[in-house]
Amino acid sequence: DVKVTQSSRYLVKRTGEKVFLECVQDMDHENMFWYRQDPGLGLRLIYFSYDVKMKEKGDIPEGYSVSREKKERFSLILESASTNQTSMYLCASSVPGQGGEKLFFGSGTQLSVL
């Protein structure tokens, strides 16, 4: 089974801190994604990557950056955390051409910014 692992389940940070969310997948998937989930807003794409060192902005990239130095690892960076970035963050991976890109998600990181 595909395993997508997010480094933290719960994280509490202060406003202005730099925050790193790490994600690792073990199935050699080319594609990796970062979403955030908020009540009433569903899943919104922050950034995605189709290859090492490649990144593309999603729907809500402001305030975030990403890093993909190795195929299996995709990091989300909050340069200066703000309270409106309190959310559930979900990492996913997929193989392109799987008929609609079936995504495999990690368990999520619930981030609280105080």
Both tokens of 67, joined, read 């890093």
Kindly tell me which of 41 and 114 has the beta carbon lying closer to other proteins.
41
- Residues paired with 24 in a beta bridge: 5, 73
Characterise 71 by phi-psi region: left (phi > 0), alpha (psi -120 to 50), beta (else): alpha
Kindly tell me which of 35 and 64 has the beta carbon lying closer to other proteins.
35
62 binds other proteins (CB under 8 A): no
79 binds other proteins (CB under 8 A): no
* Interacting span for other proteins (CB under 8 A) from 13-21, 48-56, 66-74, 78-86: 48-56
- Give the three-state DSSP class for 11: strand
Q: How far is CA 46 from CA 18, 27, 41, 66, 93, in A?
A: 17, 22, 13, 9, 14
* Interacting span for other proteins (CB under 8 A) from 11-19, 40-48, 66-74, 79-87: 40-48
Q: Which of 107, 112, 113, 114 binds other proteins (CB under 8 A)?
A: 107
Signed CA dihedral, 91, 11, 15, 113: sign only: positive
Q: Which of 74, 106, 111, 113 binds other proteins (CB under 8 A)?
A: 106
Tell me the closest approach of the beta carbon of residue 20 to other proteins, in angstroms: 19
